Amino acid sequence: MQEVTLRVNGEDYTRKVEGRTLLAQFLRDQLRLTGTHIGCDTTQCGACTVLMDGRAVKSCTILAAAADGAEVQTIEGVAEGERLNFVQQAFHEHHALQCGFCTPGMVMAATDIIRRHEGVLDEMTVRRELEGNLCRCTGYHNIIKAVLAAAEVYRRSKAPAQATAN
Amino acid sequence: MYQTTYHKGQSLDQVRKLHAELPEPSYISGGFTLIPAMKNRLAAPENLIDLRALPELRGITRDGDRLRIGAASCHAEVAGSPEVAQSIPALALLADSIGDMQVRHMGTIGGSVANNDPAADYPAAVLALGATIITDQREIAAHDFFTGMYATDLAEGEIILRIDFPVPRSAGYAKLRNPASKYAIAASFVARGSDGSVRVAVTGAGEDGVFRWFDAEQALADRFETASVEALQPDPGMMLSDLHGSAEYRAALVKVMTARAVDAQGSVDIC
Ligand SMILES: Cc1cc2nc3c(=O)[nH]c(=O)nc-3n(C[C@H](O)[C@H](O)[C@H](O)COP(=O)(O)OP(=O)(O)OC[C@H]3O[C@@H](n4cnc5c(N)ncnc54)[C@H](O)[C@@H]3O)c2cc1C
Ligand code: FES
Ligand code: FES
């Protein structure tokens, strides 16, 4: 067992973990943040996607011990209190989920994609960058629509700042 | 997953010492090959020694006619590096075609080259570009480095520090991906050296892993055009046969992908 400290959704947690404990297990079993899902054992489905130091990663394939000192954001950390954040809201409005199992991973992956591209996205880019997230229900169509809509919201929210700068 | 003990690497000396002294050790970088293997109990190292933070394995620099890529650079760093994009655009685009976004955020070039998966992308680039693998002990030419499926010339405990690529006149990569795993069913990297020599390296298709296709190199050195490749017949006898494709199918793909890589100089053609 070794001690690790991770900042998860803005709060520091110090816990003892086994060498083999995966970040996804740490979040789910030790912190009880069960929004991060585990849908495969081949690192392919993306249901376990979280942001680690700002980048989307598959938490089922990272050791908790290796993540010592990292800053992690999970699906539990995105809503503003009772209010859905802009990515969740777009998923809701565009009917981008059915069973919802893949949704936490989709939202976290989408958040990285939107931020990295500063909200400037087209359908091809979204489809390409979401390849690591599988959905067995929706057929992806509405997920793509939701991500594009959320990107638009993100871009507009940044626009006034630029307008003032001009 | 079996029990294991994790050690964060602090210095080259320390990781080498740990590797020499601890029972059943394994280095780990991104972990995106090793951890899936451990989860499926195909690997069970008792001690994991993390190389990622070692400064000797970090950084991407252009140094005269060489591009030097630290072994711990993740695929997304290589894909996004202006030095790589300016020096060898096909290499940046190859990195951007590996696995998926989350895999590219963790998997490293050093891990990929050390693992030498028969369907991995980097080995084709390293071999076709005539790169040099710089370890903590020596420098190994790509041609001597890959010694068969999942096999390399690395000694027990030897560490890849970085990979040095000579900047070519031009290079291109073409790949047919397995839509589920994203690994290559067949892919070809074609590079023209600054001296006009041509190297062709094929991944995904060979039964001994990545290989140079010498007939195509010769034909392309004579005339650098797709017709030179189309006149050739790769030997199905040396191709992999599995549920994704027969040896005959892969032999046909090797020709098609190599012709596309000739057409795609300065870029990639991924399908
Ligand atoms: C879903 C999925 C899809 C993928 N798709 C592709 C794909 O399309 N194409 C592709 O090429 N790859 C693909 N990969 C593999 C991915 O790119 C791996 O991350 C990479 O090949 C290995 O790098 P790593 O840093 O993760 O290595 P690790 O898993 O950390 O290590 C792999 C091996 O290399 C050794 N090693 C690591 N670093 C060094 C070093 N510096 N010196 C000496 N030995 C070292 C380790 O001891 C271990 O034996 C995929 C992986 C997954 C999970
Ligand atoms: S649970 Fe992590 S990729 Fe499927
Ligand atoms: S909504 Fe069911 S798996 Fe995506």
The number of beta carbons lying within 10 Å of the beta carbon of residue B132 is 18
Question: Residues of A at the B interface (Cβ-Cβ below 8 Å)?
Answer: 2, 18-20, 22, 41-44, 46, 49, 55-58, 61-63, 65-66, 68, 109, 112-113, 129-133
- The pLDDT value given to residue A162: 53
Class of domain A86-158: mainly alpha
With a cut of 50, say whether residue A166 has pLDDT above it.
no
**Burial of B146 from C-beta contacts in 10 A (0-12 / 13-18 / 19+):** buried
ipTM of model: 0.94
A58-115 per-position pLDDT tens digit: 999 999 999 999 999 999 999 989 999 999 999 999 999 999 999 999 999 999 999 9
pLDDT-derived band at B80 (thresholds 50, 70, 90) equals: very high
Cβ <8 Å between B102 and A44: no
- Domain boundaries defined on chain A: 2-77, 86-158
**A86-158 and A2-77 share a CATH fold:** no
Please give the average per-residue pLDDT across B126-140, as a whole number. 98
Query: CATH homologous superfamily for A2-77?
Result: Beta-grasp domain (3.10.20.30)
Q: How far apart are alpha carbons B230 and B30 in whole angstroms?
A: 39
- The pLDDT value given to residue B15: 98
- Closest by CA position to B230, among listed B252, B197, B247: B252
| DSSP H or E segment with residue B139 | strand B139-141
Cβ <8 Å between A19 and B101: no
Cβ <8 Å between A112 and B101: yes
Fold of B55-166: 3.30.465
- The pLDDT value given to residue B193: 95
The closest residue, in CA terms, to atom 37 on ligand 1 is B111
Distance from the CA of B260 to the center of ligand 3, in angstroms?
Answer: 37
Q: How many helices (H) and strands (E) does chain A have?
A: 5, 5
> What residues of chain A lie within 8 A of the CB of B48, using their CB?
19, 63
- Report the gap between the CA of B182 and the closest CA in chain A (Å): 9
Q: In the CATH scheme, what is the code of domain B170-270?
A: 3.30.390.50
- B170 forms beta bridges with B192
**Burial of B200 from C-beta contacts in 10 A (0-12 / 13-18 / 19+):** buried
Fold of B5-50: 3.30.43
B164-175 per-position pLDDT tens digit: 999 999 999 999
Judge if the beta carbon of residue A69 lies within 6 A of ligand 3. no
- The pLDDT value given to residue B182: 87
Q: How far apart are alpha carbons B51 and B129 in whole angstroms?
A: 25
Judge if the beta carbon of residue B120 lies within 6 A of ligand 1. yes
Q: What global pTM score does this model have?
A: 0.96
Nearest residue, CB atoms, B102 vs list A18, A49, A63: A49
pLDDT-derived band at B118 (thresholds 50, 70, 90) equals: very high
- Domain boundaries defined on chain B: 5-50, 55-166, 170-270
> What residues of chain A lie within 8 A of the CB of B32, using their CB?
43, 61
- The pLDDT value given to residue A164: 47
Q: How far apart are alpha carbons A60 and A50 in whole angstroms?
A: 10
Max CA separation in chain A (angstroms): 55
- The pLDDT value given to residue A158: 86
CA angle, corner B267, sides to B122 and B59, nearest 5? 50
B201-248 per-position pLDDT tens digit: 999 999 999 999 999 999 999 999 999 999 999 999 999 999 999 999
pLDDT-derived band at A161 (thresholds 50, 70, 90) equals: low
With a cut of 70, say whether residue B109 has pLDDT above it.
yes
Please give the average per-residue pLDDT across B3-30, as a whole number. 98
